[in-house]
Amino acid sequence: MPQLLVADLGTMPYEEALALQRAVAKARISGAIDEDVLLLVEHPPVITLGRSSKRQHLLASPTLLAARGVELFEVERGGDVTFHGPGQLVGYPIVDLKRHRKDLHWHLRQVEEALIRALAPFGIAAERSAGQTGVWTEGRKLASIGVHVRDWVTWHGFALNVTTDLSYFELMVPCGIAEVEMTSVAREVERQTSSAPVIGLGERARSLVVEGFADVFVLDASPIQPATLEHLAFA
């Protein structure tokens, strides 16, 4: 079975992870990396502006962003403004759609499905929202998705709020959706149990997300050390 190489980058600045995923995507396009890749990472606080971003959707001034310790980047992914930060599981699937289906909309639905499956063991009834990309539960948004594709190879990806400080989303109109209510795995678990989530929520979420991606893309998940991946990508 084809593999899904899974690299857990730990906590990494956004700019550094962006350079890595671009290099991996380039190597995937050239064939220097011959398997699909999933980068998992947690970023220090950062706001990113996608190709469809409207400046009025960023509500915070540069001074306020600096005071909150939030970086700002404009990137090539689709979508509007979003936040990455501690307690959030960010995933960058670098997938050659020529080996799956040359259909970007199909890819987006597969990413959503992987997350929906990953959330089910938490008792969270995750779902899609008609006409909107991402993963939701009862009208609250759990995960944002925005991708880029070149030569049918994807990069950028998803941000799943696990134990994220949701107050950061007050700095923007998340994904350009007015009055959207952002939520997290931790908050949804608390709604169910009226008690604090169990320790290890982040580790469990990572494991379940990997399983979800392997299942929906019909790949065999295989860990790869970041140093090994970097060697392949930058060779």
**Is beta strand 46-49 parallel, antiparallel or unpaired with respect to 3-11?**
unpaired
Half-sphere exposure of residue 78: CA atoms within 13 angstroms, side-chain side = 17
Q: How far apart are CA 19 and CA 1, in angstroms?
A: 29
Active site residues: 175
71-74: strand order across its sheet:
71-74, 46-49, 81-84
Query: DSSP states of 3-58 as a string?
Result: EEEEEEEEE--HHHHHHHHHHHHHHHHHTSS-SEEEEEEE-SSEEEE-TT--GGGB
8 A C-beta contact, residue 226 and residue 26: no
8 A C-beta contact, residue 134 and residue 143: yes
CA 155 to chain CA centroid, Å, is 10
